[in-house]
Amino acid sequence: MIRFLIKIGLVLVIGILVYNRFFGDDQEKEQAKEVFKKTGDAVGSAWNLLKSEKQKFDAGKYDRVLDQLGGAYQTVRRSAKYLDENVLQRLDDLERRKAVLEDQMDSIEMGDQALRDAPPPSNKKGLKSAAAETAAKEADQKRRKEALQRELDNLVRDTETLLRQAQEK
């Protein structure tokens, strides 16, 4: 019931604002315009905050996994005298893959920072093309993060396999 009343209230407020924006007198039009602008700014700020927090979470998650893998590799190396050469070669390969993923993660983080720090477009003509370019860059960053996550999952799976085999020997 309360949810329904809130929805009705929001519809009424939006309806009044839209009516005032197009059919009200000059003062009402200006007031409605200001409300829309402030609402847009608030929504944009909230969206930017959510994106920033998600990126921080993603970056931290990757860091923790890579740190844990590094610790596992050091543990295996310490007990290397009990392992055969094949296991050591596979361990070297896993460490190289981990280093490549760390480089990719740094590159992705720099791309995210560049998107956050990008200045807004300077003229109205370029607004749509700049927005499309920004959206394309964000989509590319998302694609790169998904690829990094898949590679990280593969690395973790391969590491688990190596550790199981090392324990069996």
Mean per-residue pLDDT of the chain: 78
Q: How sure is the predictor about 5, in pLDDT bands with cuts at 50, 70 and 90? A: confident
The number of residues making up the chain comes to 169
* C-beta neighbour count of 15 within 10 angstroms: 10
Q: How sure is the predictor about 111, in pLDDT bands with cuts at 50, 70 and 90? A: confident
* pLDDT computed for residue 45 by the predictor: 73
**Cα–Cα distances in Å, from 110 out to 14, 106, 116?**
40, 6, 10
pTM for the whole structure: 0.54
* pLDDT computed for residue 138 by the predictor: 83
User: pLDDT (tens digit, 9 = 90+) per residue, 53-98?
Assistant: 667 666 666 677 777 778 777 777 776 655 667 777 888 888 899 8
* pLDDT computed for residue 124 by the predictor: 53
Percent of the chain with pLDDT over 90: 1
Cβ proximity of 133 and 155 under 8 Å: no
pLDDT at 123 over 60: no
pLDDT at 168 over 80: no
Q: How far apart are CA 39 and CA 62, in angstroms?
A: 35
Cβ proximity of 74 and 161 under 8 Å: no
pLDDT at 19 over 60: yes
Residues 6 or more apart whose CB falls under 8 angstroms from that of 157 comprise none
* pLDDT computed for residue 11 by the predictor: 82
* pLDDT computed for residue 120 by the predictor: 63
pLDDT at 121 over 70: no
